[in-house]
Amino acid sequence: MRGEQASSWPSHLLARLKGNLPNQVYFALVIALLIAPWLINALDQSFYLDLLTRALIIAIAVASLNLIIGFGGMVSLGHAAFLGIGAYCVGIPTYYEQFNGFVHLGLAVLCSALFALLTGLICLRTKAVYFIMITLAFAQMLYFTLVSLDEYGADDGLVIYQRSEFPGIFDIENPTTLYYAVLLFLLGCLYLTHRMMHARFGRVLQGCKHNEQRMQALGFLTYKYKLIAYVIAGTMAGVAGFFLGNFTNFISPEMMDWTHSAELIFMLVIGGTGILFGPVVGAVLFLLLEEWLSGFSVYWHLILGLMLIALVVFGKGGVHGLLSLGSNRGSQQNTTT
């Protein structure tokens, strides 16, 4: 309705950027992420490539959380469980000397989707605080199950001596290759989310977030749509876990601790819930701040907490909210883009 027809994609992109500060920042961020390894290698700062790789892996998990919290209105406090599942799907096969990356990735997708489906079937019968508590409970169950598995290192976890192999395709032992694989997958997830949220499915999901009773009265079985979103999100986070296991070369039950789930929510809020690029901004900012602040003061948790409170109080809608204040266009139109 806003003349979206007949425009080729560069002019379409320009129209979206014009006078829209948040979109300009996101565009710059994507460009920066695309050229970062080149810059970092030139400056010989490989530490930052590691930091960014980790941030982007976490960003995938936050983006998947955005799908259920930001667009679906389901606040889960057990999302780190999916990261853990994905990582164990690398660690356990490797322990048995199965290094094939397709096996690892396939297992990560399968196991996280299955876990999402089985827990979602039960969790989604509840709402609000009960939903938060039950997602937390399932994540903790998984945590304690893995702690009890002595074969796989129990609390101590497992060291992954070798990353997943994709023979003849690429070699993620190379940090730059791993970085681009992660970035590509992240951008793919964001694009998928964008398409879904503008398609029929996403409209129904967003309707459920704002007024589930209304959606039911329209004849939608809201439970079904929420469950599908939950499974898609869980699977995305599972793949993030696959990357995380490969990246850290180490897995332990601690990865699924509920504090990590809380951190994911924290990052989502920093970037702005329901904002497509919010998770990238949130994860990158969180990890950079954590890095700098922890070198600067042992009270960095406190400082970070205060910053979050300030962000929530003063800039409604996280960094996106702040950027929108500086933009002459309202943020209304962007909440779903």
Partner 1 sequence: MACLALAAIEAANKIPPLSMASILQTHDLHKSFGALVATDSVSLTVQTGEVHAIVGPNGAGKTTLLSLLSGSLKPDSGRIEFNGKDVTRTPAHKRVRLGLARSFQITSLILPMTVLENVMLAVQGTTGHSLKFWSPVSKEKDTQTQAMHFLQAVKLQDKSQHLADALSHGEQRQLEIAIALALKPKLLLLDEPMAGMSKEETRKMIDLLRDLKGDITILLVEHDMDAVFALADRTSVLVEGGLIATGTTEEIRSNTEVQQAYLGEA
Binding site for partner 1 (CB under 8 A): 1, 4, 192, 195-196, 198-204, 206-207, 210-211, 213-221, 225, 228, 332, 335
Residue in this structure with the two tokens 């014009």, named with its chain if needed:
18
Spatial CA neighbour of 337 closest among 62, 13, 65: 13
Q: How far is the CB of 211 from partner 1 (least distance, A)?
A: 5
Q: How far is the CB of 228 from partner 1 (least distance, A)?
A: 8
Specify the residue, 7 or 45, whose C-beta has the smaller distance to partner 1. Answer: 7
Asked if 255 and 84 count as a contact pair (C-beta separation under 8 A), the reply is: yes
Specify the residue, 93 or 120, whose C-beta has the smaller distance to partner 1. Answer: 120
Q: How far is the CB of 232 from partner 1 (least distance, A)?
A: 9
Spatial CA neighbour of 190 closest among 62, 117, 98, 276: 276
Specify the residue, 96 or 200, whose C-beta has the smaller distance to partner 1. Answer: 200
Q: How far is the CB of 308 from partner 1 (least distance, A)?
A: 24
Burial of 80: CB neighbours in 10 Å, binned 0-12, 13-18, 19+ = buried
Specify the residue, 246 or 335, whose C-beta has the smaller distance to partner 1. Answer: 335
Specify the residue, 295 or 330, whose C-beta has the smaller distance to partner 1. Answer: 330
Q: How far is the CB of 19 from partner 1 (least distance, A)?
A: 19
| DSSP sequence for 225-262 | HHHHHHHHHHHHHHHHHHHHHHHHTEE-GGGG-HHHHH
* 263/256 Cα distance (integer angstroms): 11
* 268/274 Cα distance (integer angstroms): 9
287: its two tokens: 């990890």
